[in-house]
Amino acid sequence: MNSLYHKARFLSSASRLDQAPEDKGMEIAFAGRSNAGKSSAINTLTQQSSLARISKTPGRTQLLNFFELDEQRKFVDLPGYGYAKVPLNVKQQWQKMMESYLQHRNALCGIVLVMDVRHPLTDFDWQMIDWCEQSNLPLHILLTKADKLKFGAAKNTLLQVQRDLGEANTVITLQLFSSLKKKGVDDIHQILDGWFQLNENG
């Protein structure tokens, strides 16, 4: 396992793309509904309990949050979407910011889409999947909170999502994940290593 992820540190937040760090190197963005467990997943991947802020109130991530792994590689936590009780104009602002980032960020090299295994493939998830398909971006789906279901039920959900995604033309990988049980961490590290080209460069 690459120790690069444990070195992650908070770099900056941005409410607009022109406030973001310089557009260079490689960035992997984490997207998902507000209550899907995105912040917990980032913290589990980096073995840091409070790198990404976890809130009891879904929708607290209202900014693009950048985390530096090394000079060339970053994680980006995108605003949670679809659940937060915020005014419509704020939601529209988030969406505009996310679209701007997804369309114009040259450093973006892959998206991790976080879904609650009990509520996969929401309308927002399909929007992200379609967007990745149009942009030829690799997409990895984390079915989080797998500990909330019995193994057989979680596995059945994984297979069903796989079938539903069969129509998509883009390269999509997916897995079960549990931040609580630390399940699936090595699997996603392997995917991220490939996107960050760590296998080639060490």
pLDDT, residue 151, reads 94
In a domain, 88, yes or no: yes
Number of independent structural domains in the chain: 1
Report the length, in residues, of the chain: 202
pLDDT, residue 56, reads 57
Query: In the numeric block, which tokens belong to residue 21?
Result: 């760090």
In a domain, 96, yes or no: yes
Residue 201: pLDDT above 50? no
In a domain, 114, yes or no: yes
In a domain, 142, yes or no: yes
What is the average pLDDT score of the chain? 88
pLDDT, residue 55, reads 59
pLDDT, residue 99, reads 84
- What range defines the domain where residue 36 resides? 3-197
In a domain, 63, yes or no: yes
CA angle 29–31–172, rounded 5-degree value: 80
In a domain, 202, yes or no: no
pLDDT bucket at 114, cuts 50 / 70 / 90: very high
| Range of lowest pLDDT (55-64, 79-88, 160-169) | 55-64
CATH number at residue 35: 3.40.50.300
Residue 53: pLDDT above 80? no
In a domain, 27, yes or no: yes
pLDDT, residue 60, reads 53
DSSP for the chain? Answer: --GGGGG-EEEEEESSGGGSPPS-SEEEEEEEBTTS-HHHHHHHHHT-TTSSPP-SSTT---SEEEEEEETTEEEEEPPPBS-----HHHHHHHHHHHHHHHHH-TTEEEEEEEEETTS-S-HHHHHHHHHHHHHT--EEEEEE-GGGS-HHHHHHHHHHHHHHGGG--S-EEEEE-BTTTTBTHHHHHHHHHHHTTHHHH-
| Other CB atoms within 10 Å distance of the CB of residue 119 | 13
Q: 66 has which bridge partners? A: 12, 76
In a domain, 154, yes or no: yes
Tens of pLDDT, residues 139-151: 999 999 999 999 9
Tens of pLDDT, residues 16-48: 899 999 999 999 999 998 889 999 999 999 999
